[in-house]
Amino acid sequence: MVVLAPTALLAAWERMRDLPPVQRPAELLRAFGMPRQDSVGRRDAALLEGFAENFGPLLEGLARCPGCGTEVELSVPVAELTAGMPPARAVEPVDVGGRTLRWRLPDDDDLAAAARTGSAERGALVLLSRCVSGDARTLDATERAALAALVAAADPFADITFALTCPCCAQVWEAALDPAEFAWARLVARARRLLGEVDELARAYGWSERQILALPQARRDSYLELVRHG
């Protein structure tokens, strides 16, 4: 696990900003110095860890109430999410409609292949054909639902949700949470702040970007305060 220093953080931001969102989780893991994971849920669990280490213990953002449209502030402790997850069930062959299906958990490459189809329906079929033995197209809706439940139970972090209550209309709903989205938003905010600090200090003192980024944050903050308030 890596805590990103300013220069590394800016390099990661630069590498990632033009990537399609489906490729960001893998790139974020790489930036955090973490190995590639063999399932989407394990990847997201690792991203939560990397997030907490780099950006602190709270996932903060906004969610829109499906009842009245109010934007609700959310603040979820990473530790609470992790502790609330059920243990992963084993990936085992399953008997469906008189045949035994072998299956595995989807990983980043499977999701990317599904995303390339550009349609949820075709994407689901691609996931099935990549992750299930035999001809997955012959599975009916009930069989697919049973398989989806097995996948969810075997990879709990692949679907992270938490309950929100609207302060205006008291509606309660389950919101989905994407660790990569939170980590990317925080990385972008940190990168913009660093660039702003470089801009301000370079104008005031004539220092280079490299010199400014090499300063510890506390010292950068002190100089910025001097520049702003004398």
User: Which chain residues interact with Zn ion by CB under 5 A?
Assistant: 65, 67-68, 70, 166, 168-169, 171
- Backbone dihedral angles phi then psi of residue 31, each to the nearest 5 degrees: -65, -35
Q: Measured from the CB of residue 127, what is the shortest distance to Zn ion in angstroms?
A: 34
Q: Measured from the CB of residue 77, what is the shortest distance to Zn ion in angstroms?
A: 23
In this complex, which beta carbon is closest to Zn ion, that of residue 65 or of residue 194?
65
Residues 6+ apart with CB under 8 A from 15: 27, 31
- Backbone dihedral angles phi then psi of residue 74, each to the nearest 5 degrees: -120, 145
Please name which of 1, 182, 153 lies closest in space to residue 75, comparing C-alpha atoms. Answer: 182
In this complex, which beta carbon is closest to Zn ion, that of residue 58 or of residue 63?
63
Are the CB atoms for 50 and 1 separated by under 8 Å? yes
In this complex, which beta carbon is closest to Zn ion, that of residue 70 or of residue 100?
70
Q: Measured from the CB of residue 170, what is the shortest distance to Zn ion in angstroms?
A: 7
Please name which of 134, 158, 146, 38 lies closest in space to residue 94, comparing C-alpha atoms. Answer: 146
In this complex, which beta carbon is closest to Zn ion, that of residue 5 or of residue 169?
169
Q: Measured from the CB of residue 62, what is the shortest distance to Zn ion in angstroms?
A: 13
